[in-house]
Amino acid sequence: MDSYEQVRERPGDNEEQEKYYSGKRSNHTFKNQIIILPEGKDIVDVVAGEPGTKSDITLFREYGNKFDPKQRFKGDKAYIGEDVITTPIKKSKNQKLIPEQKAANKAFSAKRIFVEHRIRAVKIFRVAQERFRLNPQKYQLVILTICGLVRFRIGALILPAQISAIPTN
């Protein structure tokens, strides 16, 4: 699992403006979280359109109750502190990682890179990459539609063949 932010138009309402301002990006943003199957075979869950001020772990804690409590996830260092999420080893203050820990982090990243590839596949569509200029109420629908197109592209979404009602004269 991983999250990413997308810049949006600055809201006119002051209260909404504060809600969507992300200090990390120094801009007003939407935050999206994507959960995929191992090796990027399918997109399992998408949370789209949350305010950019929310941290990744808070986003997971709000929407993670949809999954079985025994389900395990792999995440980046933004998810440290959650029991069901395996994260890389973080170096302690004034310490360096030993070579075994670096090797473990490298192996962990090799298994988790597929989520970054799926996020890239979503961001191929310009509407999901650049500043979102459409109606903010339609943001979630747009992102979910793009995720459906990505699923179709990778072969995870198989549409049933429909019999055409058009006569063939």
pLDDT at 48: 94
Q: Taking the chain (169 residues) in consecutive chunks of 10 residues, what is each chunk's mean pLDDT? A: 93 89 90 91 92 92 90 92 92 90 94 92 93 94 94 79 54
20 close to 8: Cβ distance less than 8 angstroms: yes
pLDDT at 39: 86
pLDDT at 166: 53
60 close to 1: Cβ distance less than 8 angstroms: yes
Say whether 126 sits in a helix, a strand or coil.
helix
32 close to 50: Cβ distance less than 8 angstroms: yes
pLDDT at 138: 94
pLDDT at 24: 85
**pTM of the shown model:** 0.85
What are the structure tokens assigned to 36, written together?
Answer: 């995929």
pLDDT at 56: 92
Q: How many Å apart are CA 50 and CA 149, to the nearest integer?
A: 21
pLDDT at 156: 80
